Every structure is written in C-alpha cells, then in structure tokens.
Structure 1
Amino acid sequence: MQLSAIEAFVAVCEHGSVRAAAAAMHLTQPAISKRIATLEAQFGHELFDRVGRGIAPTEAGRAFLPHARRLLAEIEDGRRALDSLSAHVSGRLGLALSHHVALHRMPPMLRRFVNRYPDVALDIAFLGSEAACESVARGHIELAVITLPRMPPEPLVQREIWPDPMRICVARDHPLAQATQPSEARLGDYPALLPEAGTATHALVAEALAARGVPLQAQVASNFLETLKMLTAVGLGWSALPATMIDDELIALEFPGLRIQRSLGAVHHPGRRLSNAARALLHALDGA
C-alpha cells in the first residue's frame, strides 16, 4: 500500500473534490484519481461515490478516514523522531498563527528565531484560532500560536504566553464617548462590532455583558480585529479590542467591575512528538 495513495484519499476527503486535492498536493487530477483507484483496488471497497462532478466518501471511506489520518500522523511523528536524534535544530516546522498574534505578537519572536535557526523551514498557515486547533488535532500543523480557547479541544494541550486584556471602545465622537459617566446598559443601543459568534473572543464579550444584563444589538462581524478597529474608529458602533490596539482614534470606556481578558498562547498535540524546531520555538515563547 502506497503512502501517497493514502495522502491522496485524505486530501480528497478534506478538500471535498479531486480538483482541490490535486491543487493542494501540487499534482494533476488524473494522478489523484489513479492513486484513489489503486487504494480502492487494494481494499476491495469503493471509497468514494462519484455523482456527476461531485464526490463524497462512501460508508467504507468514512470508516477508513480516521485510520488514514492516524497513519499519516504516525508517519509524521516518526519523521520528527528521526530528526530529533540530532540536537541540531532544522527541518520543516508546520506553524499556525492567528492573524492578531501574527501581526501584534510574533514578528520580533520570528525574526530572532529565523536568525538563530536558519536551517528551519517555517511553513506558516494563517488561520482562525478554531481552525488552527482543528489542524493541530488532525496532525496537519505541529504547533499553533493563537487566541486560546477557554475549553481546549481534546486531546490538545495549551500554554498561555501572553495575557490579553480587552477594553470596550468607541470613536472619539461617538455619543458614548461624550457622556461623563457612560452606562454599560447603553451599549445595547448601538451596534456591536465583534468577531463572529462561535469564536472565543465573541463568547468572552457576550458572556461578560450578558452577566450584567446588556444584550448585543445586531452587529457587523469580522474575525480581523484590525477591521473592527477601523469600523469602530469611523463611528459604526462599539467594539471590544485588546488594550494594546487602542490608540488616539478610539476612546476606551470605563465600566467598574467589567473585566474581559483573553489568553494568547501555544497549542500542540500531547500524543505527538515535537520536533527540535517546535521545542526551540516553544522555549523562545516561554521567555517572551
């Protein structure tokens, strides 16, 4: 059984089409189809239903998929184990970064890292925190540095690197900025500019305000905090942003007793061997 055929099978399952899988693997569509056909012949089961131009895993394909993922993860673990026999820090490091962490926390760290370890090939994916956790869980990414989920997905482990306090803020000419003592209840009168529902940041803000009886008005949602900052600065509503992002364009509103704080940090899979490069980056992050 060829490993390349199993890789093609998993790629088609995850990308939803032969075309997308071929693009991801830098192969032709006939090459992907040939590998799938070889695997099906070896198993004696059809792994995909092909209807028109669509393709979806059969019952046999769905049954085999978790085993295929585990096999690929074990092979990757084996590769890292061999690389780790040497103390030299080198090789590929699959790293996921959330956009906020990538822009506001990692540049100095990455600059020092690539200067110190020039033989490491960084393969960086910019993902939302939830998608990054899923990639780590599936073995696609070795390490993620993101906004940490409050309840880490099993079986991932996480470590906090930076506490990230957040502030409710508005444009300088917003009505709430003009009030001598703005009431948090008035937040419900204006649009909330927040990340999408389902994200850790949205849940933190919504729950903190719900505990004080403040509903969220229909909102503009974006997972890019820089976009939310711009929309807030032009007066479209209020937002909750990291304190480090608040500048002269914005006014942070003071509400006694209201505390919203995220945690930014690293996530990895405890059941998979970390490469020398991943351990070196974690060590550098611990000293950040």
Structure 2
Amino acid sequence: MRNRSSTRVAVLDLSSFGAAARQLNLSQPALSRRIKGLEAAVGAQLIERTTRSVAPTQVGRQLAPLVRRMVDEFEESILSITDLGGRHRAQITLASVPTAFYFLPRVIGAFNARYPGIRFRILDLSANEGLDAVANGEVEFGINIIGATRDDLVFTTLIEDPFVLACRRDHPLAQARRLKWDALAGHPLIGVAKSSGNRTVLDHALAQAGRPLDLNWFYEVNHLSTSLGLVEAGLGIAVVPRLATPQSEHPLIAVVELDDPLVTRTIGLVERCGSRLSPSAQRLRQMLLDEWRQGGQGT
C-alpha cells in the first residue's frame, strides 16, 4: 500500500507519468500498472490522463490529503524506528480554530516535556475548514467549535467558552463588570462574517433566546484579531469569545461579561468516525482531556 500511495503522490505532484516514473525508478508501463492496481483496490478511477496533462478525478482529490498523510506518517515511523542519529521523531498533525491557541500551547509544552522530540504540524483553520481537514484525513484530529451534528465525525467536549464584550477602556461600557445584551443597542458593533462558525453559534443562541435585540452590526471582519484591532482604534465595540481576548491585563482593551442570555461556544475534539489515532496523537488527546476536565481552562 505504501508503494502504491507513494506512486500516486508522485504522479500528482509532478503532473506527469513520465517524470513520476523517473523519480520512482520505474518504467511507465510499470507505473501505469501500479496506478491501475490502486484504482482497483479503491474501486474508482483516481487519475485522469490525457496526451497533455495528468489530473486527479473527484475521488482522487478527496483521497489526496489522506494519502499524503499516510505516506508522511509511514516515513516518519521508519525514521523514528531507525532513529538516524536521533534527528527524526514521530509527528502529530492536527487542525485547530485560531482562538484555541490561547490554551493549546500550555498542553503542548507539557506534552513536549514528557515526550521530547515529537514534532507537531498544526493547521490554524476556520471551523468549517478544520472539520473538512479531519474528515478527509489531512490531519489526525481537530480542536473545533462545531462538528457534533456531522455523521462522519465524533465530537468530544473540552470546555465552554462564553462570548464577552471587548471595548476600549475609555468607552462608557468599560466600567461595568457585567452587562445585558440590551445594553449594546445603539453602539456600533464589530462582528465576524456570517459565514464563520463563531457567528453561526452566536446568531443561533440569540435567536433561541426568544426576544429580538436591536444590535447594530456596523463592521464585519473575517478574523477575531481584526475585530480587536478595530476596538483598539476606537471604531466600535466587539462581541468575541473570551479565549479570543487578551489573557493578561491589556492597556487599551477592557473585557465585560455578557448575560441575559449567556451565550457560550463549545470547544471540543473532533475525530473521524472509526479512525484510529497514532500513539503520539492518542497521548496528546488524553492530555487535552485531562487538562480541561480538571478545570484548567482558565475561563
């Protein structure tokens, strides 16, 4: 399987049967037989070949991330076994929503202290992109805010992260410790795009509250960090998850709790149904669960 997978990756990377055959030290007929063997095993055509180009089929595009990761992990495992002077180790691949990076480094630091030398490949992706990366096998698992409703994924809760108000310290609302959502009416609000996972969670929760809110969503941004930049500039106030706010005292930004209703997003681990994590990824997964089940989220 490894030879067949490596064969397919080489063909896709080089977009040429001839170049791939030379790289793999194979004749073109032998390379074609390997591709046909892989397609027979999968039960679908994976590569379309014309006189001018080579391109993956739809099934081939779906399998490409998984095949690449399988090849990478196989090679990492071999290097880890042979050690080659201690320069190579296993690698963990995961996808994480960007705001998770406020708590993820602490766990990774503890993991590195216990298991030194294991490398990380972390993709900071939007919620929907992260789910796709897990589903297509590009990563072993993900840290996400959505996924519980997808039949092809398993979602395990880590923490509840409340939405809060972020405003400049000289803003009239900054003096309050806690505000109702109604208090935001009339102020220019900074929000993330409606297509984002955070906005989906927020809009759904407010709609479920059963009463309309006269909120002035004046600015729309793609990233939470951008919204905080606009807050610093005094252009408006922002509703953001607590984990997206500065985790230490900030000279310009104040954070105020919001309730009535209390809106939270659930951060959890996302895995493919029926998948089996590598030993290293399984250890990291357990450390994440242990950390947050012991109340280490700091929220």
Residues 50 and 138 of structure 1: CA distance in aligned 2, closer, same or farther (over 3 Å): farther
Residues 115 and 56 of structure 1: CA distance in aligned 2, closer, same or farther (over 3 Å): same
Corresponding residue for residue 5 of structure 1: 7
Give the conservation status (yes or no) of the 8 Å contact 2:168–2:174. yes
Following the alignment from structure 2 to structure 1, what is the Cα–Cα distance between the partners of residues 34 and 242? 58
Give the conservation status (yes or no) of the 8 Å contact 2:180–2:260. no
Residues 48 and 198 of structure 1: CA distance in aligned 2, closer, same or farther (over 3 Å): farther
Corresponding residue for residue 242 of structure 1: 241
Q: Within 5 A, what are the aligned runs for 1:53-92?
A: 57=56, 61-66=57-62, 68-69=63-64, 72=67, 91-92=90-91
Secondary structure of the 2:282 match is helix
Secondary structure of the 1:232 match is helix
Following the alignment from structure 1 to structure 2, what is the Cα–Cα distance between the partners of residues 256 and 118? 43
Following the alignment from structure 2 to structure 1, what is the Cα–Cα distance between the partners of residues 130 and 108? 18
RMSD in angstroms over aligned alpha carbons?
Answer: 4.1
- Structure 1 position 202, deviation (Å): 0.8
Following the alignment from structure 2 to structure 1, what is the Cα–Cα distance between the partners of residues 147 and 273? 18
Residues 255 and 95 of structure 1: CA distance in aligned 2, closer, same or farther (over 3 Å): closer
Following the alignment from structure 1 to structure 2, what is the Cα–Cα distance between the partners of residues 121 and 252? 35
Following the alignment from structure 1 to structure 2, what is the Cα–Cα distance between the partners of residues 127 and 182? 31
Corresponding residue for residue 272 of structure 2: 269
Give the conservation status (yes or no) of the 8 Å contact 2:69–2:139. no
Corresponding residue for residue 86 of structure 2: none
- Structure 1 position 149, deviation (Å): 0.4
Structure 1, unmatched stretches of 5+, are 13-21, 23-28
Identity across matched positions, percent: 22
Instruction: Pick which of 206-215 and 33-42 moved more.
Output: 33-42
Residues 75 and 167 of structure 1: CA distance in aligned 2, closer, same or farther (over 3 Å): closer
- Structure 1 position 118, deviation (Å): 1.5
Tell me which amino acid in the other structure corresponds to 2:111: F
Give the conservation status (yes or no) of the 8 Å contact 2:147–2:155. no
Tell me which amino acid in the other structure corresponds to 1:72: V
TM-score, scaled to structure 1: 0.69
Following the alignment from structure 1 to structure 2, what is the Cα–Cα distance between the partners of residues 124 and 134? 15
Q: CA-to-partner distance for each residue in 1:144-163, whole Å, 9 max, x for gaps? A: 22x32064433111212222
- Structure 1 position 196, deviation (Å): 2.4
Q: Within 5 A, what are the aligned runs for 1:42-61?
A: 43=36, 47=48, 57=56, 61=57
Secondary structure of the 1:229 match is helix
Following the alignment from structure 1 to structure 2, what is the Cα–Cα distance between the partners of residues 204 and 230? 22
Corresponding residue for residue 20 of structure 2: 35
Residues 70 and 107 of structure 1: CA distance in aligned 2, closer, same or farther (over 3 Å): closer
Q: CA-to-partner distance for each residue in 1:99-154, whole Å, 9 max, x for gaps? A: 2112x101111111011111422222222222121111111100222x32064433
Corresponding residue for residue 219 of structure 2: 219
Secondary structure of the 2:120 match is strand
- Structure 1 position 50, deviation (Å): 8.9
Corresponding residue for residue 26 of structure 1: none
Instruction: Pick which of 132-141 and 119-128 moved more.
Output: 119-128
Instruction: Pick which of 135-144 and 213-222 moved more.
Output: 213-222
Give the conservation status (yes or no) of the 8 Å contact 1:188–1:217. no
- Which of 130, 133, 136 is the aligned partner of 1:132? 130
- Structure 1 position 285, deviation (Å): 0.8
Matched, 1:233 2:232: yes
Tell me which amino acid in the other structure corresponds to 1:153: R
